[in-house]
Amino acid sequence: MWRKNRLPRSNTTCIGTDLNRNWKFEWGGEPGTGAASTDPCDDTFQGLGPGDTPENIVLSGLSDKLGASRKGIRSYIDLHSYGQKILTPPGWTCNTSQYPPTLPRMIEVAEGFANSVQGYDSRNETYQYGAGCDIEYYSAGNGRDHHYGVYGANHSWTLELDPVTSSQGGFVLPPENIWPVVQEQWAGVLWLLNDVWLN
């Protein structure tokens, strides 16, 4: 149940950085929003500098290579748990003038993904979707904002998987739900690939 990585920092006994607050794009976010923490003891500690964790350095390097390729990065999905939400950019601000011009298309694709998940089987699971700041909370330095802002990924999401609430298992998905969630998500991914990649 450890949220952060295990990287020690100097001048503190607290361990770890929240890797989903450490991406370079809009690292730190808007002051006073609680988008990320500068306190090494907090669960949302952003690191000492943008992209300064070993994990982020490696992943950013891979994204740099993919982003520079002929087709670039068209879609990015960062899988998380839990809450059953599809979060689009932005997370770092709630200022609507900073919202992506492609947001309507992102929402359209998110809706198709959510409908495919819901319609897959009798569980009838519903996913909420929208700009991260609107339906969840501020989260600066996250992967979806970075991949949209730096590489122009047309569909850049944080996907919060099942369940909806902590009383339903929270971060510990009941074993009997693991395979159904996998199948539902694959139905959503197939819809996404057909809509985004093949059209």
At residue 122, the pLDDT reads 83
Structural domains of the chain, count:
1
Residue ranges making up the domain that contains 131: 19-197
Among residues of the chain, what percentage have pLDDT more than 70? Answer: 98
Q: Is residue 33 part of a domain?
A: yes
| Rounded to 5°, angle at Cα 86 from 198 and 124 | 90
In a domain, 11, yes or no: no
Q: Which residues are catalytic?
A: 160
CA distance 23 to 40: 16
* Residue 3 belongs to some domain of the structure: no
Query: What pLDDT was estimated at residue 174?
Result: 92
pLDDT of the residue at 46: 95
* Cα atoms in the 13 Å half-sphere on the side-chain side of 76: 28
Q: Within its chain, how far is the Cα of 81 from the centroid?
A: 10
In this predicted structure, the answer to whether residue 196 has a pLDDT above a threshold of 90 is no
Q: Does any domain span residue 171?
A: yes
pLDDT digits (tens, 9 = 90+) for 23-57: 999 998 877 777 899 999 999 999 999 999 999 99
User: Alpha carbon of 101 to those of 30, 134, 163, 166, 198: distances in Å?
Assistant: 20, 16, 31, 34, 22
**What is the CATH number for 111?**
3.40.630.10
For residue 12, tell me if it sits in a domain: no
Q: How far apart are CA 125 and CA 187, in angstroms?
A: 12
**Does 1 map to a domain?**
no
Q: Looking at the domain assignment, is residue 5 inside a domain? A: no
Residue 150, in any domain of the structure: yes
